[in-house]
Structure 1
């Protein structure tokens, strides 16, 4: 149970970092209060976690030949597609404007999420 909570927190922090660092990734503008933005971020983190739990493994298995041929670099494209799918599912609450911002955002999310998981999950 705590592992799921750690991953959820890591996803939320990583998404916040991507929104902050990449100009073409935005969080909903309808509520500018800190509490409203935090709630929106938590909902988007939940959607992102579900996308990564359900869709990403299927896409990775189907793209296994490309992953092998690219020595794993195709994972960047898969991460970008998962971020764009999250944007489509979240509607106006979370928007990614284009493929290249999604690639950069996916890279940032991977690095920040890995770092946060390492810090939170240390024994």
Structure 2
């Protein structure tokens, strides 16, 4: 049950971030596509992103996690490429702003609806 709630909250965060940013920067075709985009971002981050983080660990350590953030931004762009017109991000810089806004919205939503590490399940 918690997984479904997390998926819906991630979709909501993606949808709200797309609403906050100009349509020339980020567009999403609707809430359903925002959920799909959130799932794809999570999947590519967990697979390709993890492999990239392992290979770049020394550099990531030296830059205090900046490389990890850049990898996340690249995974947002990869998702945009996969989804075509249903979820589009204009460029790297808008993907970076989008990733920051999504992270902040998820932080807020997790504060409202409970932590992902909650033992209430």
Aligned equivalent of 1:26: 27
Distance in 1, Cα, partners of 2:16 & 2:59: 29
Aligned equivalent of 2:106: 113
Q: What SS does the aligned partner of 1:95 have?
A: strand
Distance 1:6 1:54, change over 3 A: farther
After TM superposition, list the pairs within 5 Å mapping 1:82-121 onto structure 2. Answer: 82-121=75-114
Distance in 2, Cα, partners of 1:74 & 1:110: 16
Runs (4+) of structure 1 exceeding 4 A deviation are none
Of 10-19 and 49-58, more deviation after overlay is shown by: 49-58
Q: Which has the higher contact order (CA 8 A, sep 6+)?
A: 1
TM-score, normalising length from structure 1?
Answer: 0.80
Distance in 1, Cα, partners of 2:52 & 2:101: 20
Q: Mind listing any 5+ residue stretches in structure 2 that lack a counterpart?
A: none
Residues 11, 34 of structure 2: 8 Å contact kept: yes
Of 92-101 and 109-118, more deviation after overlay is shown by: 109-118
Distance in 2, Cα, partners of 1:114 & 1:6: 14
Aligned equivalent of 1:78: 71
Distance 1:55 1:6, change over 3 A: farther
TM-score, normalising length from structure 2?
Answer: 0.81
Alpha-carbon shift at residue 70 of structure 1 (Å): 0.8
How many residues get paired? 114
Residues 6, 120 of structure 1: 8 Å contact kept: no
Q: What whole-Å deviation, never above 9, does each CA across 1:45-104 have from its counterpart, x for those lacking one?
A: 222222223222222112212211111122321221111011011111000111100111
Q: CA RMSD of the aligned region, Å?
A: 1.8
